[in-house]
Amino acid sequence: MSELCSKPDQDLFTYTSGRYLYNERLRRAERHVHFDVPALKDIAADCVGRRSVTRMEKLAEGGFSRVFLLTMNDGFEVIAKLPYSLTVPKHFTTESEVATLDFLSSKGVPVPRVYAWSSEDGNAVGSEYVIMEKAPGQPLESRWFSLTQKERVRLVTSFVEIERKMFSFALGSYGSLYYKGRLPSHLQADLYGPETLDESGDASRFCIGPATDYMFWRGKRAQLDLNRGPWSDQHEYLRSVGRREIEWTRKFGKAQANDFPHNTVLKGEISPKIYLDLLDKYLSVAPYLLPRDRGNPLNRSTLRHSGFEKPSLPEDYDSLSPEEKIQADELHRQRMLFYLYMIFNAKDNKPHLDALRHPILMPCQHLVDRAGRQWSGNTITLKGALVRVVNNWDQLSQGTSCPVHFDADDEEEFLHTEEQWFTATTLLEHWRSVLDDLGQDGWVRNESYEEVVEMNRRLKREWLDEAEDDEDLLCVEKYWPFQDHEELD
């Protein structure tokens, strides 16, 4: 590995796609990937029958992996993907990704072909990797405004057709997909249910195994004895989400204060016992959040939706500034794409549309999402999600009385507090927009980093100057949301 530390390769190992306003050392360490560059090049060239790699460049840096573009001696190009050190579960993530791509390809879904891969880091490269075909075409964002209406329709119908195919896979369990011969038998569930005819022999090659969902493996969760799947029952999956967070909170949760400005709503250090009580309530309602029938559209993968009306540009579009028109165009593009997507779902994939339009879908999704969040001192969002499901119980109950009850006075007081919480969240999001659309993890563009650091300093100073007493000063100084802080995993 003589080239591991050579200067030209350092950018290949380190994160360079942005900066972090806070906890930057940790974020960059999580995304550092040390590997043997010549070994990766040799494997890439060999797996596609070329003599050598003549060029290697960093193509993208996502949330969990770094992507490289490798050009061969004859100009042929491939993609190499290496996971960050933060990516978990180790081994399973790569195994499942490769098996899933293979399965989808066998069903006619257009996915990149995998040329070579390794799910172990003890190889010549020194890292897990996947070397795959470079997908042809151009990024949609670079072409959208120049597409004709017919081309846009063709684009959306292709999305719907892919989803229609995926809806037709009657998988037997919930979890992630693996090669049957590469997963220990005690972690396997059959690919299809007993009622599904397996004409292609898929079940002899593939199986369902543990979920590769990051939250089941994140930090100290990897040490816990959790049910990570596969799950034969959809309700057991929902319960596993809650039990996972209960287990982590009992072992590692501690009293926490919220960041400013939310610490002006929930004051002081909040006991995790309150959160555990809410998670217990979640477990009580979890068996009712999805229908019992496995074939019901709500028990299949769905996307959120927020309406079914044809979008239009703002009435005052002509009077907008050039910058505002760009924003309006982009929002209209996104809404029009979704509108067309819904129209063709109604025509070609009605079970999916039925799930998308179910009136209780959003409250149930929101509750499961909130129950799956790590304890942070915030009791408001989970309780709010519970309140809304309880208040819509008649659409879920199937004749069963609700196992959770909130006192009327308590609910009224809570809704008032929740409104204050929403106001604080709106203020926080405004600050993020002022700070060049600061990411949830503190990410900021390289070119605006120094300016954002200065804006953040001034913003904090303004609020410190507004403090009326020592308690106000402490709320801001110690708990300013955009500064280095301890993280619990």
pLDDT > 60? residue 356:
no
Same-domain status, 49 and 131: yes
pLDDT > 60? residue 141:
yes
Domain assignment present for residue 189? The answer is yes
Domain assignment present for residue 161? The answer is no
pLDDT > 60? residue 5:
no
Same-domain status, 117 and 184: no
Position 303 scores a pLDDT of: 27
Whichever domain contains 67, its CATH number is 3.30.200.20
pLDDT per residue as tens digits for the range 116-136: 999 999 999 999 999 999 988
Position 10 scores a pLDDT of: 86
Structural domain count, the chain: 2
Q: Mean of the per-residue pLDDT values for the chain?
A: 89
Q: Name the band, by pLDDT with cuts 50, 70 and 90, for residue 326.
A: confident
Position 308 scores a pLDDT of: 44
Same-domain status, 130 and 180: no
Same-domain status, 179 and 89: no
Instruction: Examine the fold and report which residue of 232, 249, 281 is the final residue of a domain before the chain moves on.
Output: 232
Range of the domain at 193: 172-232
Question: Mean pLDDT, to the nearest integer, of 89-96?
Answer: 96
The sign of the dihedral angle between the CA atoms of 48, 50, 53, 57 is negative
pLDDT > 50? residue 458:
yes
Position 344 scores a pLDDT of: 61
Q: Which residue has the higher pLDDT, 258 or 336?
A: 258
Instruction: Examine the fold and report which residue of 136, 162, 180 is the final residue of a domain before the chain moves on.
Output: 136
Strand partners, 176: 209
Position 437 scores a pLDDT of: 93
Q: Name the band, by pLDDT with cuts 50, 70 and 90, for residue 389.
A: very high
Question: Mean pLDDT, to the nearest integer, of 315-325?
Answer: 77
pLDDT > 50? residue 306:
no
Position 405 scores a pLDDT of: 94
Position 9 scores a pLDDT of: 78
Position 111 scores a pLDDT of: 92
Where is average pLDDT lowest: 25-34, 130-139, 211-220, 413-422? 130-139
pLDDT > 80? residue 3:
no
Position 309 scores a pLDDT of: 53
Domain assignment present for residue 205? The answer is yes
Domain assignment present for residue 258? The answer is no
Q: Name the band, by pLDDT with cuts 50, 70 and 90, for residue 432.
A: very high
Instruction: Examine the fold and report which residue of 215, 232, 249 is the final residue of a domain before the chain moves on.
Output: 232
Domain assignment present for residue 58? The answer is yes
Domain assignment present for residue 159? The answer is no
Domain assignment present for residue 324? The answer is no
Domain assignment present for residue 225? The answer is yes
Same-domain status, 125 and 53: yes
Closest CA to 220 of 255, 254, 187, 251: 251
